[in-house]
Amino acid sequence: MNIKRLIFWAALFCALLGYVLVLQKDAPRKENTPDAQLVKVFSFPAESIEKIELRIGTQTAKLVRKKTGWESDSPAHTGITQDTFESLLSTIEGLIKIEVVSEGTKDLRQYGLENPGSSIALYRAGDVNPVILDIGSDTPTGVSMYAMLQGSNEVIQVGTLLRFSIKSFLNMQTPALSR
């Protein structure tokens, strides 16, 4: 091994290390603040919801809040636990706008929202008209799907967990009826 070469590379390394340390000392630091705030699709509290209507294709369910908890109008859903109702409500209430895809678009067909196959209608205490979220097709990545609140001009992306939760709920039946 050549000692001159070793000394040359060690000196070069030390010079570069000193250069980096001096420049990094004065470099501005990035704050750990989130770039975007998480915005919920439904801005009202879950406690204000008195009735929910779910629809995927031809399957529908109506859920009503009673003093004893949530109940379904379907005889097939009579044995579902309150935890299942609360889980579905939590998914709906916690729904986040991943991204606003389009504002004011007239061609909703590209998002599967021209004649949406799925929707959620939320009836709040004191409101005559429900808040309706139309659910369109999946995004090209399949990780999220398009949705739009009726009366809004924004097409948004929401997580596919919502569709999964609704389908799971609609496919649940009491043990006595599923035999």
Report the domain count for the chain. 1
Question: E strands along 29-116, which residues?
Answer: 39-40, 49-56, 59-66, 69-72, 96-97, 99-103
CB 41 within 8 A of CB 122: no
Confidence of residue 30 (pLDDT cuts 50, 70, 90): low
Q: Is the pLDDT of residue 21 over 50?
A: yes
Spatial distance between the Cα atoms of 158 and 156, rounded to a whole number of angstroms: 7
What angle, 0 to 180 degrees and rounded to 10, lies between the N-to-C axes of helices 82-93 and 161-171? Answer: 160
Residue range(s) defining the domain that contains residue 111: 39-171
Task: With respect to residue 28, please indicate whether it lies within any of the assigned structural domains.
Answer: no
Residue 120: per-residue pLDDT:
95
Residue 1: per-residue pLDDT:
62
What pTM, to 2 d.p., does this model score?
A: 0.74
Spatial distance between the Cα atoms of 167 and 173, rounded to a whole number of angstroms: 12
Task: With respect to residue 90, please indicate whether it lies within any of the assigned structural domains.
Answer: yes
Task: With respect to residue 179, please indicate whether it lies within any of the assigned structural domains.
Answer: no
CB 132 within 8 A of CB 121: yes
Task: With respect to residue 8, please indicate whether it lies within any of the assigned structural domains.
Answer: no
